[in-house]
Amino acid sequence: MYSKGLAPLAAATVVTVTAALSMVFFYAPNDADQGFVQKIFYVHVPMAIVALCGFIAGGVFAIRHLRSGDSSWDLRSYVAIHMSIILGVGVLVTGAIWAKASWGHWWVWDEPVLVSFLVVFLLYCVYYPLRFSIEDPGRQARYSSVFAIAAGAFVPLNFVAVRLAEAYTHPRVLSQTGGSMPGDMRLTFLVSIAGMALLFVTLWKLELTAKHASMQLKRLRNRARVAA
Amino acid sequence: MAAIELERLERRYGERVALAGVSARVEEGQTLAVLGGNGAGKTTLLRVLAGLLRPHGGSARVLGAALPGERWKLPARVGYLGHEPLLYRELSGRENLRYHAALHSVPHSRLETVLAALEIDHRADEPVRDLSRGLVQRLAIGRAILHDPPVLLLDEPRANLDPSAAELVEPLIGRSSGRTRVVVSHDVRSALEESDVALGLKAGRPAPVDAELYR
Amino acid sequence: MTRTARAILRKDLRIELRTKESVPAMTLFAITVYVLFHFGLDRDSLDGELASGVLWVTLLLAAVIGVSRLFAAEREQGGIDGLLLAPVDQTALFVAKAAAMFLFLTAVELVAVPAFALLLLGPGLGGALPELLAVLALGNLGIAALGALVAALAAETRAPELIVPLLLLPLLVPVLIACAQATEPLFRQDAGPEDLGRWLGLLTLYDVVFVLLSVAVFDFLLED
């Protein structure tokens, strides 16, 4: 049910990611100020964008779950959030590496995207203890969906709030994440985003298929045990 | 149309079956006794009828209201007495009933009538946590019948009541009250004596009412 | 709906007045945290952004205590069955619990804010009191709405006292940002509002979004 279109999707992912990697190493120019290290930006920012979209998608799936009562939407929501949290770890780690290489500190409060991402990440980490400390399965799914919706609405609000705050205390330091990118950097950047997005969707579908299969297996085992 | 109609009712708890294939028909004014061992699903059935749990399969109608779609119609028509008295321990009996009266739009005079009928008006202003279990049970009964519901769902109604108290509540929640009742009880003999229909449950499914039921 | 909400609110206020559990604890906690900040920062007097930050972080932490207790009475008397058995609109329950939290916060602030001025605030409160009250009101609204939602979410978990702070605090970061930024110029020596409109606007947006969202999803938390 979930694996429809998985093969062509996986193929597209491999092609795009390969293209992105080649472009990052061979096509995009070395940054004048920061040198080779700046290229981590092609991983860090697409990861952040895809993770944030994943969180919001989790919220949208959660809305569909509550409206329809169909638990397959809850599964889609759970996997999307689960994968975005993992990507989130990657965002924070690559962000730290970039900060260390650029400014000599492992963490900087200057970049509002990174800071608001930290808050969002801390929030979504609570998804697991919330979900798994509710025993009733129906309730567990419903409450997780409510959380996913509230947290999904929170993401843009938080971003706006942090950006407003940082504008007051720290002047915008980084211009690469702005619009003033030279053409070849912009192209590499776009291909990187596409590759990361496709990777996310492929892995999402894969995990959905795997979870669905293991749930069916458990169901069959239970039925066999009851019949015996 | 019967007061309560159940047709192959189903309720699951995750993968586990809590109720399956449960059917029954209770006419107005009749009493249904639900019998079975621990974990048979008796309390689950009662909670579904009260609108606290939504059925996962089959059909159920209480006073014409279809579950789960018309669950919102139930609170006004159903009086539920469960294991928990559902009373706030820091408030007095009177304050608790006044709160429920406000929620159900019941006039104050009714409140006083109920307190008097249960013979607890002399202690109705003490906090519930200071009352004995028997008095708490009487208050819980008062809460259940406050809004004069035509259907009563009673889980061990005579728990913690001494014989005189049990006699006291009989016209309110017993057969002589004339209300349609569903009673869960461990006292098989008296349950069968005062019921018109009996339903046996074993592991959530209907089972004949005999010695096997409690095995 | 308002009649039911009023009945539930009256019941919760009566229990709080009887047990005196939440409000005194939150107030005492706030004052204790001021003392901690005094020792932790090694400062006798604060102004500007430091004062603003200490005040709002303390209020948020105190709010967490109150939110953890919001559904305590229901949990203790056997769950929310009693509410489900009454012809109660679930929105009424949300409104009642949020209103209760708002009133508790107001009561706490009646003591905690003057105490802050007494203990730690250099410039004193007189400078821009109406503006401060506006920020407190909008901030309390956001905390109350989100607190009611988080309390309901955590109520059915195994360890609500752990889940509530972890959920509530990140979600309140925008409120903290807006309130602290808005209050900062009010706590300076030459107190006067600066960009107040921007921060009040952010708070209002936040409040509107989360009140509407909570009302929309609250039903799903209570039904079974």
Report domain extents, chain B: 4-214
Q: Looking at the complex, does the CB of residue C217 fall below 8 Å from at least one CB of chain A?
A: yes
Which residues of chain B does A139 touch, with a Cβ-Cβ cutoff of 8 Å? none
Write phi, then psi, for B124 (nearest 5 degrees).
-75, -10
Residue C19 has pLDDT above 80, yes or no: yes
Contact A120, A55 (CB under 8 A): yes
Which pLDDT score, from 0 to 100, does residue B215 have?
A: 65
Contact C3 B83 (CB under 8 A): no
For residue A109 the two structure tokens come to: 């409060």
Q: Looking at the complex, does the CB of residue B69 fall below 8 Å from at least one CB of chain A?
A: no
Residue C50 has pLDDT above 50, yes or no: yes
Contacts with B135 (C-beta within 8 Å, 6 or more apart), sequence order = B93, B120, B123
Q: Which of the four pLDDT bands, split at 50, 70 and 90, describes residue A170?
A: low
Q: Looking at the complex, does the CB of residue C77 fall below 8 Å from at least one CB of chain B?
A: yes
Q: Identify from A164, A166, A169, A170 which residue to disrupt to test chain C contact, counting C C-beta atoms within 10 A and taking the largest count.
A: A164
Cα(C12)–Cα(C103) distance, integer angstroms: 11
Percent of chain B topping pLDDT 70: 99
Cα(A187)–Cα(A203) distance, integer angstroms: 24
Q: In Å, how far is B14's CA from the nearest CA of chain A?
A: 5
Contact C7 B103 (CB under 8 A): yes
Which residues of chain C does A160 touch, with a Cβ-Cβ cutoff of 8 Å? 174, 202
Picking from C69-73, C134-138, C169-173, which range would have the lowest pLDDT averaged per residue? C69-73
Percent of chain C topping pLDDT 90: 60
**Mean of the pLDDT values across residues B199-206?**
87
Residue C99 has pLDDT above 70, yes or no: yes
- Chain C: residue nearest B53 by CA? C224
**Domain residue ranges of chain A, discontinuous segments joined by +:** 6-28+36-227
Stronger pLDDT, B213 or C136, i.e. the higher one: C136
Which pLDDT score, from 0 to 100, does residue C109 have?
A: 95
Which pLDDT score, from 0 to 100, does residue A176 have?
A: 45
Helix (H, G, I), strand (E, B) or coil at B180: strand
pLDDT tens for C189-199 read 777 777 888 89
Q: In Å, how far is C126's CA from the nearest CA of chain A?
A: 25
pLDDT tens for B154-200 read 998 888 888 888 888 888 888 888 899 999 988 888 888 888 899 88
Q: Looking at the complex, does the CB of residue B107 fall below 8 Å from at least one CB of chain A?
A: no
Q: How many whole angstroms from its chain centre is CA C122?
A: 25
For residue B82 the two structure tokens come to: 């469960």
CATH number for B4-214 (one of 3.40.390.10, 3.60.15.30, 1.10.645.10, 3.40.50.300): it is: 3.40.50.300
Residue B7 has pLDDT above 80, yes or no: yes
Those of residues 115-144 in B touching chain C at CB distance below 8 A are 127
Residue A171 has pLDDT above 50, yes or no: no
Instruction: Report angle CA B22, B24, B26 to the nearest 5 degrees.
Output: 150
Write phi, then psi, for A80 (nearest 5 degrees).
-60, -45
Cα(C192)–Cα(A165) distance, integer angstroms: 19
Cα(A2)–Cα(A214) distance, integer angstroms: 13
Alpha helices in chain A (DSSP H): 6-22, 41-68, 71-103, 112-125, 127-132, 137-169, 183-227
Which pLDDT score, from 0 to 100, does residue B52 have?
A: 86
Q: In Å, how far is C87's CA from the nearest CA of chain B?
A: 5
pLDDT tens for C140-163 read 999 999 999 999 999 888 888 899
**Mean of the pLDDT values across residues A54-66?**
95
Q: Which of the four pLDDT bands, split at 50, 70 and 90, describes residue B152?
A: very high
Write phi, then psi, for A60 (nearest 5 degrees).
-65, -45
Contact C27, C163 (CB under 8 A): no
Stronger pLDDT, B61 or C223, i.e. the higher one: B61
Which residues of chain B does A222 touch, with a Cβ-Cβ cutoff of 8 Å? 15
Contact C213 A165 (CB under 8 A): no
Q: In this structure, is the dihedral angle defined by the CA atoms of residues B182, B185, B190 and B192, taken in order, positive or negative? A: positive
End-to-end CA distance of chain C: 21
For residue B75 the two structure tokens come to: 């609170």
Q: Looking at the complex, does the CB of residue B87 fall below 8 Å from at least one CB of chain C?
A: yes
Picking from B35-39, C82-86, C176-180, which range would have the lowest pLDDT averaged per residue? C82-86
Give me the sheet containing B16-26, strands edge to edge. B16-26, B4-13, B57-62, B65-67
Q: What does the DSSP assignment read for B78-146? A: EEEE-SS----TTSBHHHHHHHHHHHHT--HHHHHHHHHHTT-GGGTTSBGGGS-HHHHHHHHHHHHHT
Which pLDDT score, from 0 to 100, does residue A175 have?
A: 45
Residue C59 has pLDDT above 80, yes or no: yes
Which amino acid belongs to residue A87? L
- Distinct helix (H) and strand (E) counts, chain C: 10, 0
Percent of chain A topping pLDDT 70: 90
Q: How many whole angstroms from its chain centre is CA C28?
A: 15
Task: Specify the DSSP element, H or E, that contains B35.
Answer: strand B31-36
Stronger pLDDT, B188 or A51, i.e. the higher one: A51
Which pLDDT score, from 0 to 100, does residue A31 have?
A: 67
Contacts with C100 (C-beta within 8 Å, 6 or more apart), sequence order = C9, C12, C13, C16, C70
Residue position matching structure tokens 């070849």 = A184
Q: How many residues does chain A have?
A: 228
pTM confidence score: 0.89
